[in-house]
């Protein structure tokens, strides 16, 4: 593989959130490595059984399991990533529409040279929760004939193939976009926005989640750079300081 392709694939990570079975992690790692993706991150309460992961990873992807990252909290796992894609088959009143994996790759290819990108996969029985999806700028939905969800390894395999195909065939014709703010930086900004809006009672108990979700959807579409999240955070910090000074 061309070194340039490797550089782009190294900016991709597969993140498995609370997988129920260690064997499925091994299968997912094998599927990802078949397409040149070497970074697997697992989020959960305890580290999965190593031998069970290796059994399904086989010797081909054993090194992926050995170097696998593990975090107890999703926010920690996402800290370096500028673009997060949540994979989900669930639809609901509070979920924004998704794109299929091929469309997703057209959207993220311009970002891949300068940004780290994470693909998020949920637990086998329930997928990603709304709390997980709040970190995601995009949603990827694999269309199926009977509208049912695929198993974890299949979903990882399909996305890994689309990533590999796009990197091999599209990267020469893609115009690159600059480095965006990381998840850590954007989440810090959202915390300041939430605190500021709470100070003026804009976020009421019944509307709190709705407005914060809408704000996230709006700002995520803009694809903010670090300097821009710093500006918003600075405005909010100054506002909060002013409120503290004027309180009796």
* Contact assessment for residue 89 and residue 124, using Cβ atoms and an 8 Å cutoff: no
- Give me the pLDDT at residue 96, please: 62
Residue of 124 and 173 predicted with greater confidence: 124
For the stretch 134-170, pLDDT in tens is: 999 999 998 887 766 788 999 999 999 999 999 988 7
All structural domains of the chain, each given as residue ranges with its CATH number in brackets, are 3-173 (3.40.1280.10), 183-246 (1.10.8)
For the stretch 177-216, pLDDT in tens is: 889 999 999 999 999 999 999 999 888 877 888 899 999 9
Q: Flag whether pLDDT at 53 surpasses 90.
A: yes
- Give me the pLDDT at residue 243, please: 85
In whole angstroms, what is the distance from residue 207 CA to residue 203 CA?
Answer: 6
Q: Flag whether pLDDT at 247 surpasses 60.
A: yes
Q: In what order do the strands lie in the sheet with 40-43?
A: 69-71, 40-43, 12-17, 117-121, 83-87, 138-140
For the stretch 82-135, pLDDT in tens is: 999 999 876 555 556 689 999 999 999 999 999 999 999 999 888 899 999 999
Task: Show the beta-strand stretches assigned E in 80-143.
Answer: 83-87, 117-121, 138-140
For the stretch 32-42, pLDDT in tens is: 999 999 999 99
Average of pLDDT values for 71-88? 96
Q: Flag whether pLDDT at 246 surpasses 90.
A: no
In whole angstroms, what is the distance from residue 83 CA to residue 146 CA?
Answer: 30
For the stretch 211-236, pLDDT in tens is: 999 999 999 989 999 999 999 999 99
Taking the model in full, what pTM does it have?
0.90
In whole angstroms, what is the distance from residue 11 CA to residue 221 CA?
Answer: 21
- Give me the pLDDT at residue 1, please: 58
């Amino acid at each position: 593989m061309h070194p340039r392709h490797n550089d782009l694939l190294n900016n991709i990570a597969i993140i498995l959130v609370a997988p129920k079975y260690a064997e499925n992690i091994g299968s997912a790692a094998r599927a990802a490595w078949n397409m040149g993706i070497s970074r697997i991150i697992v989020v959960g309460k305890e580290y999965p059984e190593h031998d069970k992961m290796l059994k399904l990873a086989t010797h081909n992807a054993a090194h992926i399991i050995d170097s696998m990252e593990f975090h107890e909290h999703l926010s920690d796992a996402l800290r370096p990533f500028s673009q997060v894609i949540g994979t989900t088959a669930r639809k609901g009143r509070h979920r924004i529409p998704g794109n299929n994996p091929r469309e997703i790759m057209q959207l993220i290819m311009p970002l891949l040279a300068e940004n780290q990108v994470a693909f998020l996969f949920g637990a086998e029985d329930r997928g990603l929760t709304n709390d997980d999806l709040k970190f995601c700028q995009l949603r990827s939905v694999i269309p199926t004939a009977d509208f049912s969800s695929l198993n974890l390894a299949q979903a990882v395999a399909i996305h890994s193939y689309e990533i590999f195909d796009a990197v091999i065939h599209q990267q020469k014709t893609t115009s690159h976009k600059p480095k965006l703010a990381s998840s850590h930086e954007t989440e810090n900004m959202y915390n300041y926005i939430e605190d500021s809006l709470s100070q003026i009672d804009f976020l009421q108990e019944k509307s709190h989640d709705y407005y914060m979700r809408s704000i996230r959807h709006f700002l995520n579409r803009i694809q903010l750079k670090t300097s821009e999240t710093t500006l918003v955070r600075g405005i909010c910090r100054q506002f909060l300081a002013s409120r503290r000074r004027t309180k009796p």
